């Protein structure tokens, strides 16, 4: 596949800003045009089969992430779904969060008055979590799988062991900076809940995301509504409680259809290729940045890392990078760069040339 033909933005820019916004493929844009053309020509008739269409999207998401379709829900973005999840929990829950995690993770927990503690975000992240579990005894761990500010990635094997050792601990993850970077098996993971927006590494544009939960989570959510009558209208009669909570109102077939099309594109490219490309370029980039003293100690000393980096950059360097048509984003005290499967070593070399 010619990535510059599939992603036209790559013809004009070196795109290292996926951590801020993924890009749309030309084939997906053609599908979106066709979708809206049909809506223009058919009006309400176009929506007659929307229930089957959206169920097919759920099936595609659950297949892609190895989840259970019965426990897969569509959402407009991470924040809406995470807030819905929190509103279904008893207020007695105690949350362990990561210091400096994405505000969409930490603020909704804090603002609802849950008891909270924080694990430091540094090279010892996993040990910090273990230490806090001993001293704070949380009932929920809420964490971004990949930290937006510097790309630190939680060890997935650690989460699986943590769940095995603490079966009553709910582990809830934001996958927005993770999903789309490797083949991930939700059912075999240590996660109880995975929520993600689709506009970053999933390359699915805005207004779509998904929720995957495990069967064991049901007894924790909206227990005060269990036993109450559900809607009996024909168009709602087959909906279950959590479906009504996570998927209220209408769902946009354009946005969620785009999510399905992006997953099909990922499967065409090949998840093995995607994971290998991201890991290969990411490791080379980490070494190159570390050799130049551009990484923080906590990132440089991590054995494993994502393909997101926050590098030291002054105003003049940022101007040079912009002038070279390299798209990045200032985040925190540095410049954030990210490498997806459409990036290669030449993209990294171009950036390093500007830095040097």
Query: Would you state the pLDDT for residue 238?
Result: 76
Taking residues 91-117, what's their average pLDDT? Answer: 98
Tens of pLDDT, residues 332-346: 889 999 999 999 999
What does pLDDT average to over the chain? 96
The domain made up of 3-25+270-355 has a fold known as 3.90.1150
| Cβ neighbours of residue 280 closer than 8 Å, sequence gap 6 or more | none
Asked whether the predicted pLDDT for residue 38 surpasses 90, the reply is yes
Q: Residues 117-123: what's their mean pLDDT?
A: 97
Q: Pick the residue with more confidence: 351 or 241?
A: 351
In the chain, which segments carry CATH 3.90.1150.10? 3-25+270-355
Determine the pLDDT at residue 333.
81
Average pLDDT for residues 225-250, to the nearest whole number? 84
| CA-based R_g, the chain, Å | 21
How long is the chain? 356
Residue-level pLDDT at 281: 98
- pLDDT at 266 exceeding the cut of 80: yes
Whether 227 has a pLDDT exceeding 90, the answer reads no
Which is it for strands 329-331 and 334-338: parallel, antiparallel or unpaired? Answer: antiparallel
Q: How much is the pLDDT for 130?
A: 98
Give the number of other Cβ atoms within 10 Å of residue 290's Cβ. 14
Comma-separated ranges of CATH 3.40.640.10 domains in the chain: 30-268
Query: Does residue 233 surpass a pLDDT of 90?
Result: no
- pLDDT band at 229; cut points 50, 70, 90: confident
Q: Are 112 and 67 in contact (CB under 8 A)?
A: no
Window from 84-88, 222-226, 275-279, 350-354 with minimum mean pLDDT: 222-226
Q: Dump pLDDT digits (tens) for 171-221.
A: 999 999 999 999 999 999 999 999 999 999 999 999 999 999 999 999 999
- The CATH class, in words, for 30-268 is alpha beta
Cβ neighbours around 159 below 10 Å, total: 20
Number of helices (H), then strands (E), in the chain: 13, 12
Q: Is the pLDDT of residue 1 over 90?
A: no
Residues 41-51 have pLDDT tens digits of: 999 998 889 99
* φ and ψ at residue 310, rounded to 5 degrees: -110, 110
Mean pLDDT (whole number) for 244-261: 96
Q: How much is the pLDDT for 142?
A: 98
Give the pLDDT confidence score for residue 234 in this predicted structure: 76
């Amino acid at each position: 596949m010619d990535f510059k033909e599939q992603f036209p933005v790559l013809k004009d820019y070196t795109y290292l800003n996926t951590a801020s916004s993924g890009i749309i493929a030309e084939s997906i844009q053609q599908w979106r045009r066709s979708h809206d053309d049909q809506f223009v020509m058919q009006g309400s008739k176009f929506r007659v089969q929307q229930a089957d269409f959206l169920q097919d999207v759920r099936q595609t998401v659950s297949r892609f992430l190895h989840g259970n379709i019965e426990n897969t829900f569509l959402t407009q973005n991470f924040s809406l779904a995470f807030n819905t999840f929190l509103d279904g929990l008893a207020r007695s829950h105690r949350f362990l969060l990561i210091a400096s995690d994405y505000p969409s993770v930490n603020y909704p927990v804090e603002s609802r008055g849950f008891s909270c503690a924080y694990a430091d975000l540094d090279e010892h992240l996993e040990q910090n979590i273990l230490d806090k579990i001993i001293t704070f005894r949380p009932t929920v761990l809420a964490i971004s799988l990949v930290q937006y500010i510097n790309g630190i990635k939680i060890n997935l094997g650690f989460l699986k062991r943590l769940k095995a050792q603490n079966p009553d601990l709910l582990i809830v993850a934001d996958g927005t900076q993770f999903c789309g970077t490797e083949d991930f098996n939700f059912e075999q993971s240590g996660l109880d809940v995975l929520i993600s927006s689709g506009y970053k590494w999933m390359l699915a544009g805005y207004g779509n995301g998904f929720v995957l939960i495990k069967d064991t989570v049901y007894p924790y959510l909206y227990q005060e509504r269990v036993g109450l009558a559900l809607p009996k209208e024909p168009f709602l009669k087959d909906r279950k409680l959590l479906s009504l909570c996570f998927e209220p109102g209408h769902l946009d077939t354009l946005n969620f259809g785009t999510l399905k099309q992006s997953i099909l594109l990922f499967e065409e490219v090949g998840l093995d290729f995607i994971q290998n490309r991201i890991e290969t370029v990411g490791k080379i980039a980490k070494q190159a940045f570390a050799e130049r003293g551009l990484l923080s100690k906590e990132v440089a000393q991590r054995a494993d890392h994502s393909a997101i980096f926050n590098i030291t950059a002054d105003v003049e360097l940022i101007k040079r990078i912009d002038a070279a048509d390299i798209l990045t984003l200032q985040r925190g005290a540095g410049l954030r760069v990210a490498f997806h499967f459409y990036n290669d070593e030449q993209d990294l070399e171009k950036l390093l040339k500007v830095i040097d």
